[in-house]
Amino acid sequence: MTGEFAGRVAIVTGASRGIGAVLAEALAARGGDVVLVARDEARLEDVARRIAAAHGVNVRVVAGDAADAQVAARAVAAAIELGGLDLLANVAGWYPTALVEDTGDEDYARTLASNLGATFAMCRAALPELRARGGAIVNMSSTAARFPTPGLALYGASKCAIEGLTRAMAVEAAPLVRVNAVSAGPTMTETVKALMATDKTGAVAAVTSALPLGRLAKPEEIAEVFLFLASARSSVITGQVIHANCGGHMA
């Protein structure tokens, strides 16, 4: 698919690490220019330098909280400087692991802001430009939205909200903008690798063995689903939540 996104500009949030960084590089490898958004400016700059050197595309960095309306506006402005905006990929997120009664106000506020708040702020800022050019939004959801897991109630609730927002925007933004979401399951990110290295309870192994495919997803595999939903290959798909979780939605 070399050149599939040539001449197109994408904003990717959560682009300093994990699935976001992998997705940004995959878009660049297919010819797309990218605007990277994340809190960690140093890591974001490293990702930007690597992508620009490897793929020769235009890369812009916007450091800050994607839930901040000013950060969202800066990201859209950076995309316009590159020629316009064709794709918004909302990957940024946060998940505390605590039972409801043990969840503090700070984690409550941060989870809603980092998941629903960031997705909403970025979509609100991006939609006028996406409508002008025609384009796509792909949001990040999770199996936790539909399959209750102790300790992930708040995270799951925030992802339920993202799925509802996705469907509503798909109706509001049609026919010029398609809006979909990816429901990702456990994925072999840096965070999960670190957890596996220290996990003495066997929890990660238990989760893995319960998946029909018997393994966790790779960040590159989740990125491929984002790319499909962002591309002309999915031109008749909107308002959908695509499960990309090694069969976890059936387990």
Cβ atoms of residues 171 and 239 within 8 Å: yes
Structure tokens at 240: 């959908």
Q: How far apart are CA 127 and CA 130, in angstroms?
A: 5
Q: In what order do the strands lie in the sheet with 9-13?
A: 59-63, 33-38, 9-13, 87-90, 135-142, 177-184, 241-244
Catalytic residue among 155, 169, 211, 243: 155
* Widest CA span in the chain: 52
H helices present in 82-145, as ranges: 105-112, 118-133
Q: Given 3-state DSSP classes, what are the helix, strand and coil percentages for the chain, each rounded to the nearest 5? A: 50, 15, 30
> Catalytic: 155?
yes
The residues that are catalytic are 155
